[in-house]
Amino acid sequence: MTASAYVGRLAPSPTGALHLGNVRTFMIAWLRARSVGGRVVLRTEDLDHPKDKPGAAAQAIADLEWLGFDWDEEYVQSERKPLYREALGELCRLGLAYPCVCSRRDVEAAQSAPHAGEQLFYPGTCRGRFANWESARRSMEGGRIPCWRFMTRPGSPVSFDDAFRGRFTEDVAATLGDFPLARDEGGAGYTLAVVVDDLLMGVTEVVRGDDLLAATPAQILIAEALLPWARKLLPSARPPAYCHVPLVVGPDGRRLAKRHGDTRIASYREAGVRPEDVLGMLAASCGWCGPSESPSLGALLPRFSLESIPKEPFVVRF
């Protein structure tokens, strides 16, 4: 990949304040792009209405700027709904999307071997059942609305080479079945939106937390299906490469959360901590500097390497 062809992205969700965990991943993503002279897209992923917190999107941007991040383009998903609607229309036209009225309980009941904590397998109960989303909605009670599902094809496993994790293969039809695309009439939901955006923003590599590794094959299936459509809008569009990096966890080994204490960037800032101190701690966890150094993002550029990042989650001790 030539230097200027790289396009990376930072995709904060305004469901809470930016904390050490998000920032470590963003730092890796930003350095990965900038260290090869690439471009960076900032995309606010604000489609998760019930969980989105007012003011969190602006606060995340202010926190990133305080830490020294910059980007070349900025997008907000809630302003891009017509594109998701168009993409969904394309999937319907291809016979790859259908509305589903099953509740979580229905899906659980259909499991042959339920595994706690794993995403549910969906056997395609609603395939071919409804002519459109509206007729599916009319069949539901209590204000519930249908979701959209992707029609998977058995026996076509997806493989990709993750820049951090190596080869990853999953037969989505066997593990997830017809996975949900979006819970919205017009297809504005995380799974579909993230694929549409990565294609149309020309993202060449997605660097993100490895909690999304298992969701990636499903996203690749959508990207492959939408590629001809996306190329009409952006002729250079192609499915991105992936790089999934370990999460930050608390001493109990669980993903960093409020119960672990306050690791919000805004709180460090208010307490008089300098951006370089936050970055230094995270950069040391990636093997790019010693524990008492306080480098700026720019100073980390020549030190960046994916290879030195430990494969295990980074444990923050309080």
Where does this chain bind ligand GLU (CB under 6 A)?
Answer: 11-13, 45, 194, 208, 212
In the bound state with ligand GLU, the residue whose beta carbon lies nearer, of 90 and 198, is 198
User: How far is Cα 290 from Cα 206, in angstroms, rounded to an integer?
Assistant: 28
CB nearer ligand GLU, residue 45 or residue 276: 45
Q: How far is the CB of 194 from ligand GLU (least distance, A)?
A: 5
What span, in angstroms and rounded, lies between the C-alpha atoms of 249 and 315?
5
Q: How far is the CB of 182 from ligand GLU (least distance, A)?
A: 14
> Residue 27 or 102: which CB sits closer to ligand GLU?
27
User: Toward ligand GLU, which CB reaches closer, 101 or 199?
Assistant: 199
Least distance in angstroms from the C-beta of 12 to ligand GLU: 6
DSSP state, residue 301: G
CB 182 within 8 A of CB 87: no
Nearest approach in angstroms of CB 25 to ligand GLU is 8
The DSSP letter of residue 120 is: P
The angle at the Cα of 145, spanning 131 to 80, to the nearest 5 degrees, equals 90
254-268: burial string, b at 16+ Cβ within 10 Å, e else: eebeeebeebbbbeb
When the beta carbons of 12 and 313 are compared against ligand GLU, the nearer one is 12
Both structure tokens of 175: 């593990």
Smallest distance, Å, CB 210 to ligand GLU?
A: 11
Dihedral angle sign, alpha carbons of residues 64, 211, 220, 131: negative
Cβ closer to ligand GLU: 75 or 110? 75
Nearer of residues 149 and 208 to ligand GLU, judged by Cβ:
208
Q: What sections of 169-242 are H helices per DSSP?
A: 172-175, 190-200, 216-233
Q: Which long-range contacts (CB under 8 A, 24 or more apart) does 116-120 make?
A: 119/176, 119/179, 119/214, 119/215, 120/176
Task: In angstroms, give the least distance from the CB of 149 to ligand GLU.
Answer: 19
Q: How many residues can be counted in the chain?
A: 318
Task: Quickly list H helices, 54-156.
Answer: 56-67, 81-93, 104-109, 133-138
Least separation in angstroms between CB 187 and ligand GLU = 16
Shorter beta-carbon distance to ligand GLU: residue 102 or 182: 182
Shortest Å, Cβ 10 to ligand GLU: 9
Ramachandran angles phi, psi of 60, nearest 5°: -60, -40
